């Protein structure tokens, strides 16, 4: 009698062993874009300054890769809070970079980048309206924020390439150096962020 019961329930157990991991993986896949949408809808707008890049290395297939001024340890180690970071963990450390909006905006349409003013390993709370805390991960002197790779539609690529060429290889180069870009992002109260748009010269590209 017990043998028959085991044989009857065995297929059900095998079915759950297959469907449960699959359902869990599906939930994770769905949750990631859902979180990004929520950050986009509820997050606060901030502007990040990129590091000047070689235009010939910027585009790789359909994706673009950017680094930011706040991606460099040389920038962050000058800020309040850096010396308090655990020296033994600086090769792999989660942190928050506090950014502050510029007091004045220029007359041009291109927005001014927000200024980094402090770093912390704990999430700052009760920040003023003109500040955000951006969550990143420091690894071997470089901080990543999940804002480094972008994909552009095919119909924007030709104009995008043209603007990059004019901004970084032509007469608009500043003192012989490629001009940096600025990126508009949304940052939620937990420090999570998503890219919104990229400014090349005075042209705005939405992601």
The domain of 68 spans 44-206
Examine the pLDDT at 55 and tell me if it is beyond 70.
no
* 3 state SS of 77: coil
Residue 160 and residue 125 in one domain: yes
* Euclidean distance between CA atoms 202 and 207, whole angstroms: 16
Q: What is the mean pLDDT of the chain?
A: 77
Q: Residue 27 — pLDDT band, cuts 50, 70, 90?
A: very low
Q: From CA 27, how far away is CA 157, in angstroms rounded? A: 33
- Which helix (H) or strand (E) segment holds residue 42: the answer is helix 2-42
Q: Kindly report each contact of residues 199-206 with a partner whose C-beta sits within 8 Å and lies 24 or more positions away, as own/partner.
A: 199/110, 199/111, 200/160, 200/163, 200/164, 200/167, 201/110, 201/163, 201/166, 201/167, 201/172, 202/108, 202/109, 202/110, 203/159, 203/163, 204/109, 205/152, 205/156, 205/160
Which pLDDT tens digit goes with each residue over 68-117?
999 999 999 999 999 888 776 777 889 999 999 998 766 567 889 999 99
Average pLDDT over residues 10-31: 51
Q: Are residues 20 and 60 in the same domain?
A: no
Q: Are residues 36 and 56 both part of a single domain?
A: no
Residues 36 and 74 in one domain: no
Strands of 149-151's sheet in order across: 59-60, 63-65, 149-151
Same domain flag for 95 and 162: yes
d(CA 105, CA 66): 24
As for how many domains the chain has, the answer is: 2
pLDDT at site 176: 56
Q: Are 36 and 52 part of one and the same domain?
A: no
Q: How open is the CA angle 173-142-105, to the nearest 5 degrees?
A: 45
In the 8-state DSSP scheme, what is residue 166?
H
Q: What is the pTM of this model?
A: 0.75
Residue 177: which pLDDT band, with cuts at 50, 70 and 90?
low
Provide the pLDDT for residue 30.
Answer: 40
């Amino acid at each position: 009698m017990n043998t028959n019961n085991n044989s009857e329930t065995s297929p059900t157990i095998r079915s759950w062993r297959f469907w449960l991991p699959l359902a869990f993986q599906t939930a994770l896949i769905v949750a990631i874009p859902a979180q990004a949408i929520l950050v986009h809808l509820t997050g606060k707008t901030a502007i990040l300054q990129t590091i000047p890049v070689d235009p010939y290395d910027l585009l790789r297939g359909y994706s673009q890769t950017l680094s930011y001024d706040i991606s460099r340890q040389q920038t962050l180690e000058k800020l309040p809070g850096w010396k308090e970071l655990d020296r033994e963990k600086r090769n792999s450390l989660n942190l928050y970079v506090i950014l502050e909006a510029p007091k004045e905006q220029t007359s041009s349409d291109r927005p001014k980048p927000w200024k980094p003013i402090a770093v912390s390993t704990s999430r700052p709370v009760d920040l003023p309206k003109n500040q955000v805390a951006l969550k990143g991960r420091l690894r071997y002197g470089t901080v990543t924020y999940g804002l480094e790779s972008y994909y552009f539609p095919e119909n924007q690529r030709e104009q995008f390439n043209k603007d990059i060429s004019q901004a970084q290889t032509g007469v608009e180069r500043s003192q012989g150096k490629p001009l940096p870009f600025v990126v508009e992002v949304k940052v939620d109260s937990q420090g999570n962020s998503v890219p919104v748009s990229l400014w090349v010269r005075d042209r705005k590209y939405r992601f």
